[in-house]
Amino acid sequence: MEISSTLVRRRKFAQWSMWNVFRGASLVNAAALGLICVFLLVNGLPAISWEFLTQPPRDSMTAGGIMPCIVGTVILSVGAMLVAFPLGVCAAIFLNEYARPGLTVRIIRLGIANLAGVPSVVFGLFGLAFFVTFFGMGVSILSGVLTLTILVLPVIIGTAEEALKSVPNTYREASLGLGATKWQTIRLVVLPAALPGMLTGAILGLSRAAGETAAIMFTAAVYYAPQLPKSIFSDVMALPYHIYVLATAGTDIEKTRPLQYGTALVLIALVLGMNLIAIIYRAKLQKKR
């Protein structure tokens, strides 16, 4: 009895210790995030105005607003998700539902996992060489969207495949037992059940696409383009690249400091807003299940 009670106390102490470690790590992350948000609010909020949100930059980007940057960021990030999400879901369906387990599938999954860890500047250089130069698309929205698509595909494929794996096999067996084909089972039973989980990957991909600088500075974003894009072959301004330009290549960096913080604050608000829309839609889908 004495040995048993000692063992129980040790296990409880170990559980309490690990719980406090995890809680401490969560508090540190939350504190860091809160500190960054407060810093941006204090420094960036004075720069926010109607003119700042609706006018293009002027006076060598030391005055004016960031309207072309906002539009460019939305076009690039949403465009990348419109291309990447269907491709990622189709790839996940093939890997989870059709592909036979074996060496080839393991190599494909390893390649996807490795691509998720590749620095974004590598994707930018690939987009420059492949889309901008080889296919002659030039620095344009199309080149940027396709580059960002390749960038976020590994995340979407991984989360979509995990969402498909989370669907119980009894759903598939019941559908097949009622006479449905394999594709009908996937389309009408498996996909609706897995869609909320797939949207998690879409949210992560959207956040990464909206905040990328290196991937678009070679393929889509330019230093100054006050006019809104007219086609998919137009170049654009984007919030992440605009922050980089203001902080490193502006004519008067100190004078643009408030604009830098204001642009960063708008970028965070824009990403949060797009994510919130996706989260609300995911919650509605989960209620329907």
Q: 210-242 pLDDT, tens per residue?
A: 888 888 988 998 888 878 888 889 889 999 998
Retrieve residue 127's tokens: 């987009």
Do 86 and 19 lie in one domain? The reply is no
Kindly tell me if the per-residue pLDDT of 255 is higher than 80: no
Is 237 within 8 Å of 224 (Cβ atoms)? yes
Is 161 within 8 Å of 95 (Cβ atoms)? yes
Retrieve residue 110's tokens: 């390893």
Do 278 and 246 lie in one domain? The reply is yes
pLDDT confidence of residue 197: 84
Do 182 and 268 lie in one domain? The reply is yes
Kindly tell me if the per-residue pLDDT of 137 is higher than 70: yes
Is 62 within 8 Å of 252 (Cβ atoms)? yes
Do 166 and 269 lie in one domain? The reply is yes
Kindly tell me if the per-residue pLDDT of 254 is higher than 80: no
Do 23 and 93 lie in one domain? The reply is no
Do 239 and 114 lie in one domain? The reply is yes
Retrieve residue 258's tokens: 């408030």
pLDDT confidence of residue 152: 92
Do 28 and 161 lie in one domain? The reply is no
Task: Give 99: exposed, middle or buried? Use CB within 10 Å, 0-12, 13-18, 19+.
Answer: middle
Mean pLDDT on 102-107 = 87
Rounded distance, CA 289 to CA 150, Å?
A: 31
Q: Where are the alpha helices (DSSP H) in 212-289?
A: 214-217, 239-248, 257-288
pLDDT confidence of residue 250: 61
pLDDT confidence of residue 3: 57
Number of residues that this document lists for the chain: 289
Kindly tell me if the per-residue pLDDT of 289 is higher than 70: no
Kindly tell me if the per-residue pLDDT of 246 is higher than 90: no
pLDDT confidence of residue 133: 92
* Mean pLDDT of the residues in the chain: 86
Mean pLDDT on 194-212 = 85
pLDDT confidence of residue 143: 94
Kindly tell me if the per-residue pLDDT of 201 is higher than 70: yes
Query: If residue 219 lies in a helix (H) or strand (E), which one and from where to where?
Result: none
pLDDT confidence of residue 256: 80
Domain range spanning residue 24?
Answer: 2-47
pLDDT confidence of residue 140: 92
Mean pLDDT on 252-272 = 84
Do 27 and 91 lie in one domain? The reply is no
Beta bridge partners of 64: 57
Rounded distance, CA 122 to CA 115, Å?
A: 10
Kindly tell me if the per-residue pLDDT of 146 is higher than 90: yes
Mean pLDDT on 166-180 = 87
Is 258 within 8 Å of 43 (Cβ atoms)? yes
More confident residue, 170 or 282: 170
Do 104 and 244 lie in one domain? The reply is yes
CATH number at residue 266: 1.10.3720.10
Interacting residues of 233 by C-beta distance below 8 A, sequence separation 6+: 137, 138, 140, 141, 142
Rounded distance, CA 55 to CA 75, Å?
A: 18
Domain count, the chain: 2
Of all residues in the chain, the percent with pLDDT exceeding 70 is 96
Tens of pLDDT, residue by residue over 33-85, are: 889 888 888 888 888 888 888 888 887 777 788 899 999 999 999 999 999 99
Do 252 and 111 lie in one domain? The reply is yes
Q: Which residue has the tokens 């059940």?
A: 193
Do 86 and 214 lie in one domain? The reply is yes
Do 206 and 71 lie in one domain? The reply is yes
